[in-house]
Every structure is written in structure tokens, then in C-alpha cells.
Amino acid sequence: MAILKIARMGHPVLAEVAQPVPDPRAPEIRRLVNDMVETMIDANGAGLAAPQVHVPLRVVVFQAPGSRSDPGLDEEERYDHTAPLTVLINPEITVLEPALEGGWEGCLSVPGLRGFVERPAHVRYRGFDLEGKLIERTARGFHARVVQHEVDHLDGRLYPSRMDDLSKLIFESEARHFA
């Protein structure tokens, strides 16, 4: 496995629409995913899309740990906000409720910044794992936010383009002023 170089905002690969993966079980896809997971963990990220590591394919990895959930939620709600380490190949998202929920997002391709982004709070996603098996889940909260953020990368979109109010695009070092 290897730590891969992460493309930063402005690199053309981040503006491209990624290509579908013909065979999720291909050895080169497994190698790519293993390297992406290692890179994501090394960079302390919650997710990573293949275009972020200069590979324009429809592959994402993400995790939504419980530590990023709202501790005030009851157990049933908290479950919807978390996800184990997940590999999604050729993902699709369906919005289940159009109501938006705002939250602060960061991105490994936009280092040092955070932005307040509103996204649908309840989605269903589907895609394939490394064995070619279908994964289908519903998600809320941080879980829904992270999967939408990563799939945006596959469509050539970074979170600042989703922001309605650029006064809420801040340096991480100043985030304490927005708590």
C-alpha cells in the first residue's frame, strides 16, 4: 500500500466527471482502494474520492465515526449518523427528504479551510463493493453529508461551489469564532 498525493483545489482532475468502473473486482481497483484508505487515514480524513488522488474513476471511500455525531441524539438516531469504513464503486444518491441541513465541511483537497454547506439531510445511496456486491443504505446527518461530499467529487464539484454564503468560508484556525 502507498500514501497517494492529494490533488488540491484548482487541479483539473477535480473538475472532471469521473468515469464508471467497468469491473469493481479488478485487482487494480482493489490496489487503488487500499491506497485510498491508507491515504485517507494518514490525512485524518472522513472520506476520499479517486479524483482526489488523480484517478478519474467513480470510486469513494469514507467513514462516519460516532465521534462525529451529535452526542445529544438518542441511540436510534445516532445509528443513522454513523457508517463503518465503506468502499463505494459507481455510487448513486437519491434524496429521500428535500429538507436541508447545514453543517461545517472540510476537504483534503481544500486544506486549511472549512465552509458551512447545506445539503439534504436524508438520502439513500447505492453502489458496489470490491466483490461486486450491491451496497444500499439510507443515511442522515454526518453520514449523509460525507457520502454526498465524496460523490460530489465524482461529478467534478468541490464544497465551496455548494455554499450560499461565502462569509462562512473560514480558515480552520478561526473556527472557534463560529462555535
CATH number at residue 66: 3.90.45.10
The pLDDT of residue 71: 43
Would the CA dihedral through 116, 118, 122, 124 be positive or negative?
A: negative
Neighbours of 68 (CB within 10 A): 15
Instruction: Using alpha carbons, list the distances in angstroms from residue 56 to 53, 148, 164.
Output: 9, 17, 27
The pLDDT of residue 178: 75
35 occurs within a structural domain:
yes
Q: Which three cell numbers stand for residue 29?
A: 481497483
In the chain, the number of structural domains is: 1
The pLDDT of residue 73: 41
Indicate whether 159 pLDDT > 60: yes
What band does 80 get if pLDDT is binned at 50, 70 and 90? very low
pLDDT > 90: what percent of the chain? Answer: 83
Average pLDDT over residues 134-155: 96
The pLDDT of residue 6: 98
172 occurs within a structural domain:
no
Indicate whether 16 pLDDT > 80: yes
126 occurs within a structural domain:
yes
166 occurs within a structural domain:
no
Q: Measuring CA to CA, which residue among 125, 120, 119 is closest to residue 92?
A: 125
| 36-61 pLDDT, tens digit each | 999 999 999 999 999 999 999 999 99
- Interatomic CA distance for residues 150 and 125, integer angstroms: 12
| In the chain, alpha helices (H) | 27-42, 75-80, 141-154
Q: Distance of alpha carbon 30 from its chain centroid, rounded?
A: 19
Q: Measuring CA to CA, which residue among 130, 111, 120 is closest to residue 93?
A: 120
- Residues that are catalytic: 150
The pLDDT of residue 177: 84
**109 contacts 7 by C-beta, under 8 angstroms:** yes
What band does 136 get if pLDDT is binned at 50, 70 and 90? very high
The identity of residue 164, as a single letter, is: D
Average pLDDT over residues 6-30: 98
Domain that holds residue 141: 12-97+122-160
170 occurs within a structural domain:
no
The pLDDT of residue 67: 53
